Amino acid sequence: MIKFHKAGCDFMNLISISQHLHTEFVGRDVEYYESISSTNNRAKEIAEQKLEGTVIIAEEQTQGKGRLSRKWVSPKGKGLWFSIILKPNLEPDKVYKITLIGAAAVNEALKEMGIKSSIKWPNDIIIEGKKVCGVLTEMSCEKNRVKYVVMGIGINVNLELEDFDTELKKKATSLKVMTGKEIDRSRLLACVLNHMERLYIPFKEKGILVDTIRICKEESILIGKEVRIIKGDVERVGNVIDIDDEGQLVVEYEDSQIEKILSGEVSIRGMEGYI
């Protein structure tokens, strides 16, 4: 059973979502909007009253967000723009690991639907060097404990190239553009939620992240690559050599110094372009 709160028109096919959804709690309560400022903002408004696993989904976001206050383009009816409310008993400094679970879940879901993609640690999904999905994790804490986490996932499903402006075209694409086919958004949503729960439960219950890290490593577009690591105004060049068991990116600089990077405040770029 899915509890489905619907405001506005119906494209998201509830029957199709429930046919494909095999979860215990993720996606069992869905709040649906035709248009919203940002699904993460709405999720934060209601997170305290809602059960873990509640999903907020919208056909369009008028103020979709990326990390570091960047904008996320979310045109109407073509993407999957949604947020999941989670309530892990966790210290705030471990929340970055939940972003990795989200990225791994999307990558696994695409694989299940026959689409080959890679993970750009920590929060992007890439096909042929371009971004098809981003994950934005936000949280609320109290006394060094997480009250809730809101994981926003934006997937460019059936967007056309014209949906991206000239700048964005250089680094973004959609599943439809890459596969030449229209993708069933309801099925893809259910698939992501299934993998999300499968990877999240061991982490929530026992702190186990083994599968997530394995997926993030196996499907990494960064490991073995020379990249630019950007922290604020400072940019350094390094080789990505690993993702460690804690989910940190292990980078070796030209002077052989090794640094383990936490996802938070860095941006990773290719030597020439986006990646």
Q: Does 81 bind ligand ADP (CB under 6 A)?
A: no
Alpha helices in the chain (DSSP H): 14-20, 39-46, 96-112, 166-169, 175-179, 185-206, 210-218
- Is the Cβ–Cβ distance between 257 and 269 less than 8 Å? no
d(CA 251, CA 259) in angstroms, rounded, equals: 5
Nearest distance from C-beta of residue 88 to ligand ADP, angstroms: 22
Nearest distance from C-beta of residue 236 to ligand ADP, angstroms: 16
Residue ranges in 30-69 that form contacts with ligand ADP under rule CB under 6 A: 66-68
- Which tokens sit at 104? 């791994």
d(CA 100, CA 210) in angstroms, rounded, equals: 11
Task: Give the interface segment with ligand ADP, choosing from 71-79, 96-104, 140-148, 186-194 (CB under 6 A).
Answer: 71-79
Neighbours of 105 (CB within 10 A): 27
d(CA 217, CA 266) in angstroms, rounded, equals: 19
Interface residue with ligand ADP, options 124, 138, 197, 219 (CB under 6 A): 124
Interface residue with ligand ADP, options 54, 123, 220, 263 (CB under 6 A): 123
- # residues contacting ligand ADP (CB under 6 A): 16
Nearer to ligand ADP, 21 or 223 (CB): 223
Q: Does 172 bind ligand ADP (CB under 6 A)?
A: yes
Interface residue with ligand ADP, options 23, 27, 41, 72 (CB under 6 A): 72
Nearest distance from C-beta of residue 143 to ligand ADP, angstroms: 29
Interface residue with ligand ADP, options 19, 63, 257, 267 (CB under 6 A): 267
d(CA 193, CA 85) in angstroms, rounded, equals: 12
Nearer to ligand ADP, 21 or 98 (CB): 98
- Which tokens sit at 241? 């050599």
Q: Does 70 bind ligand ADP (CB under 6 A)?
A: yes
d(CA 74, CA 63) in angstroms, rounded, equals: 8
Nearer to ligand ADP, 123 or 158 (CB): 123
Nearest distance from C-beta of residue 91 to ligand ADP, angstroms: 23
Q: Does 231 bind ligand ADP (CB under 6 A)?
A: no
Q: Does 153 bind ligand ADP (CB under 6 A)?
A: no
Nearest distance from C-beta of residue 215 to ligand ADP, angstroms: 19
Where do we find the tokens 């941006």?
A: 267
d(CA 247, CA 100) in angstroms, rounded, equals: 7
d(CA 190, CA 175) in angstroms, rounded, equals: 16
The CA dihedral of 93, 96, 98, 102, to the nearest 10 degrees, is: 170
Residue ranges in 199-218 that form contacts with ligand ADP under rule CB under 6 A: none
**Phi and psi angles of residue 112, each rounded to the nearest 5 degrees, phi first:** -60, -30
The site for ligand ADP (CB under 6 A) is made up of 66-68, 70-73, 123-124, 131, 134, 154, 156, 168, 172, 267
